[in-house]
Amino acid sequence: MNILSQIQPERLFQKSYLLEVTPEAKGLYQYLAIPFGILLILALIFSLRAKRGEEIFQKLNLKIANLLFFTGLAGLALIFFRFEQIPYLGSRLFLLVLLAVFLAWLGLIIWYKFLILPKEIERDEKQKIFEKYLP
């Protein structure tokens, strides 16, 4: 059985496919547990990195850790709901909503990293230079 032959992206745009109340419990979705588990491990790594890293980058690392933790935990919960055949909660629509939330949240983090963080770094450097000359 070829796994790639089971993937049918055109079905993602069919309303009946997305809104199916109780989709089947067997299929490729079970393999999503691997990336969601990896996201949880990465969240742990980023949270530890935030505690040990430079102060200016702690906020960025915590934002990334929160994103990864939420996405990993919610994804595993959705896989569990589908495995247990819980109506509505196991729906494919929730996985699509999770993907949309992940992308929006990631966009905010990227915005922070490239627009806000450089200003904070510059302000921090100016503060260090100012404090260097204080008695």
Sequence ranges of the domains in the chain: 28-132
Give the integer Cα–Cα distance in Å for 60 and 53.
11
Strand, coil or helix: 79: helix
pLDDT of residue 60: 92
Q: What are phi and psi of 20, to 5 degrees?
A: -60, 125
Phi-psi region of 23 (alpha: psi -120 to 50; beta: other; left: phi over 0): beta
pLDDT of residue 2: 62
pLDDT of residue 23: 73
pLDDT of residue 90: 80
pLDDT along the chain (135 residues), means of 10: 63 68 73 93 94 86 96 95 85 88 97 94 90 81
Residue 31 half-sphere exposure toward CB, CA atoms < 13 A: 6
pTM tops 0.85: no
